Structure 1
């Protein structure tokens, strides 16, 4: 089954910080992959993230983000890091239920006339604990644990067919 959608978690999946909802303004850019908030908290985008997102977009893959963070913080950080442009659908909620967020992504796509079956999606998260409910409520989505199942973001590209 051909993969049509890749859904990412954010914290500790796209970048090294565990909770961007903690970040306080002003936020300064250190370089294109690193930022620091007013309290000295730093965040660094993992290597290969940009290249992988860009390649997925070139291949026509729909990109989603499902993250347990305050929506305004997620949007702000993604814009500062210039990552916002890669994602077709961003679901950021102040609760941990990824299966609800992924369902929102599927519903959003359906409302746009794009029907996706669970086996046409990959969900990448750094916490395996989210996968059980994703499978229970969403079906046979391929769930990939970052840092365990794969060590580099580019490995996702080999899972597309």
Structure 2
């Protein structure tokens, strides 16, 4: 049911859903010509701030998140260049690893809780990382989180759109169809986003460290969307 006229009054549940999506970059500019896309400005009686989401249509709200793709450097962990690390690695604690020269890699706060919640709620997780693969897969294994990711793609080039295409293709070949609007991509940088949306489609996006402060914050936002969408 699209918002066909300004006279349409969204239900309380839809307003709550819109509030949950407030910090998500939905990438809808490319679809602005669609008859199902409208600019909506609304105020609620729920003590929520004014919500102004441009080009938001029912078609976007109707898509559940089925796949979350994460970046690694600066997103899953604190280090910004896993390829620069030198093996062998040493486990300092469950969340800290050092390389041969004592460079430290620390899991960012809340990532384990985020991964567990997402998997428990039936959402697929994958990885798209611009790195030499050996160090990344070694770190994932040593941290004990490698088993969360399906079709992880780690390649020594910056073309994240190619990586996402490979992930979607891999899932499709296993009989799992994922639409672009059902993908949430989380990265500490947005430099790859334009190419991703041009090649893959209108994926949802959260910028780690900007849209979300940490993984606990990301978990709250994803949980809000999941819970509210299921209640619609």
1:49 aligns with 2:111: yes
Task: Say yes or no: does 1:110 pair with 2:176.
Answer: no
2:81 is aligned to 19
For the residues of structure 2 that align with 1:98 and 1:82, how far apart are their CA atoms? 24
> Per the alignment, in what secondary structure is the counterpart of residue 212 of structure 2?
coil
2:16 corresponds to: none
| Segment of structure 1 superposing worse, 146-155 or 56-65 | 146-155
Structure 2 residue runs of 5 or longer lacking an equivalent are 1-62
Distance 2:198 2:87 in 1: 39
* Divergent runs of 4+, >3 A: none
Q: Deviations over 1:142-161 (max 9, x none)?
A: 02111111113223333444
1:37 partnered with 2:82: no
User: Could you tell me how far 1:24 is from its partner in structure 2?
Assistant: 1.0
The equivalent residue for 1:85 is 147
Q: Which residue of 1 aligns with 2:34?
A: none
Shift of 1:123: 0.3
1:89 match: secondary structure: coil
> Residue deviations 1:29-64, cap 9 Å, x none?
010000000111101001110010000000000000
Q: What's the counterpart of residue 54 of structure 2? A: none
Q: Deviations over 1:68-105 (max 9, x none)?
A: 01111111110011110111121000001110000000
Q: Whose RCO is larger (CA < 8 A, sep 6+)?
A: 1
TM-score, normalisation: structure 2: 0.68
Q: For residues 139 and 82 of structure 1, what CA distance do their matches in structure 2 show? A: 32
State the match for 2:122 in structure 1: 60
**Structure 1 gap ranges (5+):** none
Compared CA separation, residues 158 and 152, structure 1 to 2 (3 A) = farther
Secondary structure at the residue paired with 2:138?
helix
- The more displaced of 13-22 and 144-153 is 144-153
Question: Quick check: 1:119 aligned with 2:181?
Answer: yes
TM-score after normalising by structure 1: 0.96
